[in-house]
Structure 1
Amino acid sequence: MIIIEDTNRFSQLQQSCVATIGKFDGVHLGHQLILDQLKHRAVLLNLPSLVILIEPHPEEFFAGPGGDSPARLTSLREKLALLESFGIDFVFQLTFDKALSELSAQDYIQDILVEGLGIACFIVGNDFRFGHKRKGNFSLLQAKGREFGFEVLETASYERNGQRISSTFIREQLAEANFELVEQLLGRPYSIEGEVVRGQRLGTDLGFPTCNINPQRRRIPLHGVFACEVRLGDRYRQAAVNIGYRPTVTDDGNALLEAHILDFDEDLYGKTIAVIFRQKIREELKFDGLDALKQQIGADVARVREVLSAPSI
C-alpha cells in the first residue's frame, strides 16, 4: 500500500482510481463492507483502489487544542495498518486544516477529486457532506460526476440486529466494557497498539513493572483497569492494564496505558506491542498514597489471573 499526502505524488504514479473517503475510525465491519465494495469496483474498472483518509478528524480540528472531541478508536498508525491488511492500493492522507475547511464544495471536487486524483468512480454515503460550511452533498457529486465524467456510487451499509454499525455506537459499547459485542462489530478484538516508552519506573518500585504506551489520542475511549492479553510478535501474554490519567501520581492530564505483563521479565523498550482488552476490572481511582495503590494493584493482578483463567476467556 502506498501512502501519499499530495495529489501531485499520485499523478506521478497513476492517472485514475476508484476512491472512497472518510475517517475510518476503528475500521469496523461497516467500513470493511465499503472497502470490499471499493476493491470490487476497482477490479471491474482495472484501476487502483484509493482511500481518502481525513486527518485530523474534523471534530478535532474545530475543537482546537485542549477542546472536546470524540475519543478515537484507532490512531492514524493503526488505521493505516488495518487499511493495508484489507488490500487497499493507495491511501491519500487528506489534511483537514483551515484551508480545507474553507474550500468550496465545487473546488473540493475539481481540485482534489478530478484534477488531483482523476477519479473514475467515487463511493460515498448519501449523507456525505463536504466543502465550506458542509454545502457539498451527494446530489452535487452526482451532478459534477455527469459534468466531469466520473461515477458516483452509494456506499453499502451494515446493520446488526437492526442497529447500523458506526464508530459512535462502538465507542458507546467500549464505554460499557462490552468487549464481546465490540469484537463482533470490529471483526477482531479491540486493541491499542504502540511503542513501549520509558516511564517513571513507579510500577517497578512498587513491585509491578509495567510497559508504558502513549495511546496517541487526544481522548481515550477506555478508562480504568482491565484484564488484557499483550501480543508480542507471535506470542500472547496475560496482563493487568491501567489506561487513564493516573490521578494518584500526577495531574498533568496526559493519558497513559500501563501494562503489567504477568510472570514476565524482558526488556521491551522501543518495541511495538498490542494490548487486547478482554474484561474490565474496575474504574480508575485516586488513592491516598502509594501504599494503598500498591495494595490495590496486588488485588487487581489477582483478579486478572482469575478472570483470564476462566473457561469463557
Structure 2
Amino acid sequence: MKLNWIKRQNSPARSVALGTFDGVHLGHQKLLQEAIARKTVGGTSCVFTFDIPPEQYFRGRLRLVSSFESRVELFLSFGIDEVAWLPFGPQFTSMTAQDFVTKILVEELLASEVVCGYDYHFGSKRGGDAKYLKEQGKLYGFSVTVVPPVQTEGGQTIGSTGIRELLAQGQLAQAVAHLGYYPAYLGTVVPGRGNEARRVTIKIDPALVLPKEGLYLAWLVPGNKGAFAIASVYGASWIELFLFDSDGAVDTQVLEVQFLHRLREGGIDQLTDSDLLAARQLLPGFHLQDTKVVLR
C-alpha cells in the first residue's frame, strides 16, 4: 500500500509514533516526544496517521478538534521529521493487523522503533493492540514503547473525546489545559457579513468542534499583522470578530483565529464597553511568540 508523505527523507530506520492524533493534545505530545527520543543515529522520527479518526469514519459524522493540516503543522512544530499518512476508507478497513505490521510498519516505514498509546488498536475489527505489536516486534526486529495515560493535575485522563466535550460546553480554560496550547481555527472571510471595518465574519469547516456559543477574547494569527479581537461563536461554523483597533483591519480572505479566554454568553451585537475593558485588562497575561499566543 503506497503511503502519502510529508517531509519524507531517505531514512534507513524510523522511530514511528502511531495514532490518529486529533487535537495533538498533551497525551499525543508524549508519544511524539518518545518517538523523537528513540530515533537511531542516522534515522528519523515519523508519525503514521490517517486523515480522519477511524471511529468517526464508522459513525459517519466528523467532530474534529483539529483539521488534518493543523495536525501536520503541530507534528512538525514539535520536532517530528516526517509524516506518513493514508486516507481512511474501505480499502483500509479490511486490512488485518498482521498486514498492517508487515506491509506498513516493516516494508513501507522501515520501523526500528514503534511508539503507541496504551489504548491503541489497529487492523480489521481492531484486531491488533499494544501487546500484539510487542509480539510482532520480536519477530520483525522493532522495539515497541507503550505510553501510559497522561493525566491532568486533578487525575483526569487527557483524551480527544474529553476535549471535544469541553469545547462544546464552553470550558475553554480546561480544554487549553488538556491541549497544551490555545486552539486555533482557520476560516474564510465572508464578504458583507460585517457592517463596519472592525467587524469580520468567517466561516469554519463544520467538521470542526467550535467552542460553545458566546463571547471570547481571541487573537488573529497574522498573514501580515496580528490583532486582538472579541470573537463570537454562533451556529456550527460561524465566528464573528470585533477587532480592538481599527488599524488592525483585515485585508486577507483567510483568517486563523486563536481562542484565548471565554468572557460570557452573548454575541457581538450585545458587546458592551465593559466587555472591551474586561478583555483589554486580560491582555498582559498572554504571551506572543512569533505569530501566535502561547502558554507561558
Q: What TM-score, normalized to structure 2?
A: 0.83
Q: Give the residue type in structure 1 aligned to 2:12.
A: Q
Structure 1 residue 240 and structure 2 residue 230: aligned? yes
Q: Give the residue type in structure 2 aligned to 1:167.
A: S
Q: Which residue of 2 aligns with 1:127?
A: 119
Q: Give the residue type in structure 2 aligned to 1:140.
A: Y
What's the offset of the Cα at 1:215? 2.3
**TM-superposition CA deviations, 1:129-175 (whole Å, max 9, x none):** 11111111222212211111111111243212211111222223223
Q: Give the residue type in structure 1 aligned to 2:233.
A: I
SS at structure 2 position matched to 1:24: coil
What's the offset of the Cα at 1:219? 4.3
**TM-superposition CA deviations, 1:242-294 (whole Å, max 9, x none):** 3232xxxxxxxx622222223325242234433323114226xxxxxxxxxxx
2:30 aligned residue (30, 33, 38): 33
Q: Give the residue type in structure 1 aligned to 2:67.
A: S
What's the offset of the Cα at 1:125? 2.1
2:4 aligned residue (3, 6, 26): 6
Q: Which residue of 1 aligns with 2:289?
A: none
Structure 1 residue 87 and structure 2 residue 76: aligned? no
What's the offset of the Cα at 1:38? 1.0
Q: Distance in 1 between matches of 2:53 and 2:234?
A: 22
Q: Distance in 2 between matches of 1:217 and 1:77?
A: 15
**TM-superposition CA deviations, 1:109-144 (whole Å, max 9, x none):** 111111111101111123211111111122221221
Structure 1: tracts of 5 or more residues without a match: 246-253, 284-295
Q: Distance in 2 between matches of 1:40 and 1:188?
A: 22
Q: Distance in 2 between matches of 1:48 and 1:159?
A: 28
Pick closer, same or farther for the CA change 1:196–1:28 going to 2, 3 Å. same
RMSD after superposition: 2.7
Q: Is the 8 A contact 1:159 1:165 kept in 2?
A: yes
Q: Which residue of 1 aligns with 2:166?
A: 173
1:277 aligned residue (242, 246, 260): 260
Q: Percent of pairs identical after alignment?
A: 25
Pick closer, same or farther for the CA change 1:219–1:88 going to 2, 3 Å. closer
2:137 aligned residue (145, 151, 158): 145
What's the offset of the Cα at 1:210? 3.5
Q: Is the 8 A contact 1:196 1:269 kept in 2?
A: no
Pick closer, same or farther for the CA change 1:60–1:212 going to 2, 3 Å. farther
Pick closer, same or farther for the CA change 1:92–1:217 going to 2, 3 Å. farther
Aligned length: 279
Q: Give the residue type in structure 2 aligned to 1:279.
A: R
Q: What TM-score, normalized to structure 1?
A: 0.78
Q: Distance in 2 between matches of 1:159 and 1:115?
A: 35
Q: Which residue of 2 aligns with 1:211?
A: 200
Q: Give the residue type in structure 1 aligned to 2:174.
A: L
Pick closer, same or farther for the CA change 1:139–1:232 going to 2, 3 Å. closer
Structure 2: tracts of 5 or more residues without a match: 286-296
Q: Distance in 1 between matches of 2:143 and 2:41?
A: 11
Q: Distance in 1 between matches of 2:202 and 2:34?
A: 35
Pick closer, same or farther for the CA change 1:103–1:270 going to 2, 3 Å. same
Q: Which residue of 2 aligns with 1:52?
A: 48
